[in-house]
Structure 1
Amino acid sequence: MKKLLDALKVNKRAQIILLVCYIAITSLSLFFAQKSVIAFLLLLFSLLLLYYTSFQNRTKWLIAGLILVVLLPLSASQGDAYQSYMEVATLVGIYVAMALGLNIVVGLAGLLDLGFVAFFAVGAYTYGIFATAQAANFMPFGSYPLSGESFWVFILLGCFVAALFGILLGIPVLRVKGDYLAIVTLGFGEIIRIIFNNLDKPINITNGAMGLSSITPPEIFGIKLIYPNQFYFVTLVILLFVIFTVRRLEHSKIGRSWKAVRENEIAAQAMGIPLVRTKLLAFAIGASFSGMMGVVFAAKQTFVDPTSFTLLESITILVMVILGGMGSVPGVILGAACVTILNLQVLTELTDWFNQLSLNGVITIPDALSPAKMQRFIFGALLIIFALYRPQGLIPSKSVTFDLKDLKEEDDETIAVPANKTEKLNA
């Protein structure tokens, strides 16, 4: 079996044949079996198979774009489950973008943040307040709610406001690290949630615990975006931008500075890396991605309240980063997708299946062990198993390695060249 896999790794023709056959079979399965969650998940699994092929990056991106833009929506669009599939896919995109933002802070810069969902809340409320009549309570000019066309401006505005809050968080925590940093960021997240929960007096800005309802849906070319399949493409475009930005930052000068700070702050400072600016950039850029997705979340749900931004959400996003592999962009994408699909679809479908068996009298499940109550237990058990047997993550971060022998040969060649030139000059 190992020989077969090794032979497959170097045979691109065999890889493309197997991949095309797999994508065709899973797409047709989802097309004809619309209520099959397994077919939907298997089609998404083709993206992971694509990652492990030996194609060029441009080819991988083209095939992935074909799957996500054409095959997935088309295959799932022939039944009643279409919108539910697109809802899951949209939420996967939202959480992947947030996990990539947290990966900059935790995975690259090494700054443990337990209040990351606060930036998500800032983006959501930034759009929610002005897309409802709530803004009329404190804005002396303008008419509210704003039209759905303002949504596209608020994506950038949510990005900027969340980045600003990231800087405000980063300034007081520059002197702490480790456990103390985790405590401070946890407190920041709770403070933001409590402020939104109580900011209904003396001036009603956030409507308090009642939340903001009837948020104006986005609008483009006179078309209102109200269905999950429409938000799917909006989320996909933003996600592609986030992935491109993160990959460019990872291999840039600032990305190397983040990694240096993560490994050893004293050594990084000795090499001339400005710690204050480097850390603030990590907080600001990571928060900006979360703020953008907060705007999308508020527009999609048309309702936001403080209960959507609890500590559990921050921990869930952190779990996505750790499970996928801290510092690894493909790993974080896989970790976020796995956790989101597990919570939204797999465990939910498993619960419904067990409940149906119990109603039909096939099995008898005690009330204390009902699947609805055991979802968190199953999720936690799976995380413990991964932590024990895969502590480095699903797709670990790859460090650049150098062959010492090759480096010595290059040094010898560099030394030999001037010597040859000197001999010619003497001749």
Structure 2
Amino acid sequence: MIKTWFEKFADNTTGQIIFFAAYVVLTTLGLFLLSDSVTAFLILLLSLLILYYLKLNIKIKWALGLLIIAVLVPFAASQGSSYQSFMDVGTLVLIYVAMSLGLNIVVGFAGLLDLGFIAFFAVGAYTYAIFGSTQANHFMPFGHYPLPGDTFWLFIPIGAIIAAIFGILLGIPVLRVKGDYLAIVTLGFGEIIRIVLNNMNKPINITNGPMGIPSIEPPRLFGIAIQNASQFYYIALVIFLFAIYIATRLEHSKLGRAWKAVRDNEIAAQAMGIPLVKTKLAAFAIGASFSGMMGSVFAAKQMYIDASSFTYLESTIVLVMVILGGMGSIPGVILGAAVVIILNNQVLTDISNTLTQLSASGVISVPDALSPAKMQRFIFGILLVVFALYRTKGLIPHKNRVFNVSKLKREAAAEKNKYKDDPEVEGSES
């Protein structure tokens, strides 16, 4: 009976719209009234996943999704003291989603296992941090630093370009290796970049070494300094939308099909005339540029960076987001990144803080060896194992694009008849 009801509901577009509208209104009102509730915040965000599965026009889905993440979530959360905390988590989700989309191009589309992807994030972050602080005065013979916050907007594409150059530099020496050897080389590349950045304070002080770069100039827009998480949320949102648009267009482009051909069978792809060198370098460069853009945003948001923020563990977390969501699946990667960040930075942290407070007040007794702070990573690891066991292809597996074969045949026949009836074409053939 329940199954029959769900089948009827799935075919009833009007019913789906009414249900979704009621859900969004109730959850928005719930977060508005319980503005410090993590549960209310997460239930409202769940509406985005529900929206994905509704059978609505794609443009309507995008419009409703933008309304939720750009208007309803910030407005409903703004009434409480946890507003900036929620927006900070939202900003981190958008930053890591854009990075995951970049890594998905390399791993999911092109099939190139990259374990040093965080290096491109570091390059973008240091690019803005050096010139957006007094650090550039140590080695630049001209100019006055820090550059004003208005120049931040130029460093977003600059960070993308420089990260793309580093992606090409990584791609050139690894073209001859694949599989496990490719993973080893990219892992080494990531560690080399981190160690170099951590030691570039002698003989010329470029990165200030392990001391990091403090007092990074905040971005400015129309003379207004952008410093709060709620303001950075919208910057990350715009770049996130741009990253989705580019990734979607690339997936169904000639280059995207070439990446998938290389991923499935390099020899067959090369036999079909696909240039392996250019195709792989394009994947490394474009994927790295996504990470470089968000690196600049991350540096401006944190206002302080050092090499400890770009360890191998961070590369692994980004790779986990891609695999957990579903390799090659853009919606899956978005969901995977959101799940990992919200679990780590919101849900498990909130549970850990609550248990710590209860233990300190004597309500419950937790042994020191099992303290919530120490068990957070353990619980996160268990959840990843459960996801991997029961969702082996990811939370939202990749679906190949379905074509109407009969429609394609009709279009091909019409195109053939068009050229056949063209007198110029007939004359050239004769």
TM-score category of the 2 structures, normalised to the smaller one: over 0.9
The corresponding residue for 2:140 is 139
The corresponding residue for 2:197 is 196
CA displacement at 1:141 relative to structure 2: 1.2
Query: 1:70, 1:409 → 2: CA distance?
Result: 41
Q: Helix, strand or coil for the counterpart of 1:304?
A: coil
The corresponding residue for 1:41 is 42
CA displacement at 1:402 relative to structure 2: 6.4
CA displacement at 1:408 relative to structure 2: 12
Query: 1:106, 1:99 → 2: CA distance?
Result: 10
The corresponding residue for 1:298 is 299
Change (3 A) 1:70 1:140: same
Query: 2:374, 2:408 → 1: CA distance?
Result: 63
1:113-192 correspondence runs (5 A): 113-192=114-193
Q: Helix, strand or coil for the counterpart of 1:213?
A: coil
- Given that residues 88 and 229 in structure 2 are in contact (C-alpha distance below 8 angstroms), is that contact kept between their aligned partners in structure 1? yes
The corresponding residue for 1:68 is 69
Counterpart residue identity of residue 210, structure 1? M
1:68-87 correspondence runs (5 A): 68-87=69-88
| TM-score, scaled relative to structure 1 | 0.94
- Given that residues 198 and 307 in structure 2 are in contact (C-alpha distance below 8 angstroms), is that contact kept between their aligned partners in structure 1? yes
Tell me if 1:277 matches 2:275. no
Counterpart residue identity of residue 19, structure 2? L
- Per-residue CA deviations over 1:299-349 (Å, capped at 9, x if unaligned) read 000000000000000000000000000000000000000000000000001
Query: 2:305, 2:73 → 1: CA distance?
Result: 29
- Per-residue CA deviations over 1:6-56 (Å, capped at 9, x if unaligned) read 111111111011101111111111111111000101111100000000111
The corresponding residue for 1:317 is 318
Counterpart residue identity of residue 253, structure 2? S
Change (3 A) 1:409 1:370: closer
Tell me if 1:352 matches 2:369. no
Measured on the aligned residues, the alpha-carbon RMSD in Å equals: 1.9
Query: 2:137, 2:363 → 1: CA distance?
Result: 57
CA displacement at 1:381 relative to structure 2: 0.7
Query: 1:151, 1:357 → 2: CA distance?
Result: 44
1:250-289 correspondence runs (5 A): 250-289=251-290
The corresponding residue for 2:365 is 364
Query: 2:160, 2:5 → 1: CA distance?
Result: 48
The corresponding residue for 1:421 is none
Query: 1:47, 1:295 → 2: CA distance?
Result: 27
The corresponding residue for 1:24 is 25
Structure 2: gaps spanning 5 or more residues: 418-430
Counterpart residue identity of residue 374, structure 1? M
- Percent of aligned positions with the same letter in both sequences? 65
- Per-residue CA deviations over 1:57-114 (Å, capped at 9, x if unaligned) read 1000000111111111110111111111100000000000000000000000000000
Counterpart residue identity of residue 140, structure 1? P
CA displacement at 1:357 relative to structure 2: 2.5
Query: 2:176, 2:3 → 1: CA distance?
Result: 51
Residues paired across the two proteins, number:
415
Tell me if 1:220 matches 2:231. no
- Per-residue CA deviations over 1:169-209 (Å, capped at 9, x if unaligned) read 00000000000000000000000000000000000000000
Tell me if 1:247 matches 2:248. yes
- Given that residues 321 and 336 in structure 2 are in contact (C-alpha distance below 8 angstroms), is that contact kept between their aligned partners in structure 1? yes
Query: 2:178, 2:107 → 1: CA distance?
Result: 12
The corresponding residue for 2:421 is none
Query: 1:368, 1:254 → 2: CA distance?
Result: 52
Query: 2:346, 2:134 → 1: CA distance?
Result: 35
Q: Helix, strand or coil for the counterpart of 1:143?
A: coil
| TM-score, scaled relative to structure 2 | 0.94
- Given that residues 36 and 77 in structure 2 are in contact (C-alpha distance below 8 angstroms), is that contact kept between their aligned partners in structure 1? no
- Per-residue CA deviations over 1:377-405 (Å, capped at 9, x if unaligned) read 111111111111111000000023568xx
Query: 1:82, 1:189 → 2: CA distance?
Result: 35
Q: Helix, strand or coil for the counterpart of 2:354?
A: helix
Counterpart residue identity of residue 371, structure 2? S
Tell me if 1:381 matches 2:369. no
Change (3 A) 1:7 1:200: same
Query: 2:227, 2:348 → 1: CA distance?
Result: 27
CA displacement at 1:410 relative to structure 2: 5.9
Q: Helix, strand or coil for the counterpart of 1:65?
A: helix
The corresponding residue for 2:423 is none
1:83-102 correspondence runs (5 A): 83-102=84-103
Query: 1:113, 1:313 → 2: CA distance?
Result: 12
Query: 2:37, 2:402 → 1: CA distance?
Result: 44
Change (3 A) 1:371 1:256: same
Q: Helix, strand or coil for the counterpart of 2:294?
A: helix
CA displacement at 1:356 relative to structure 2: 2.4
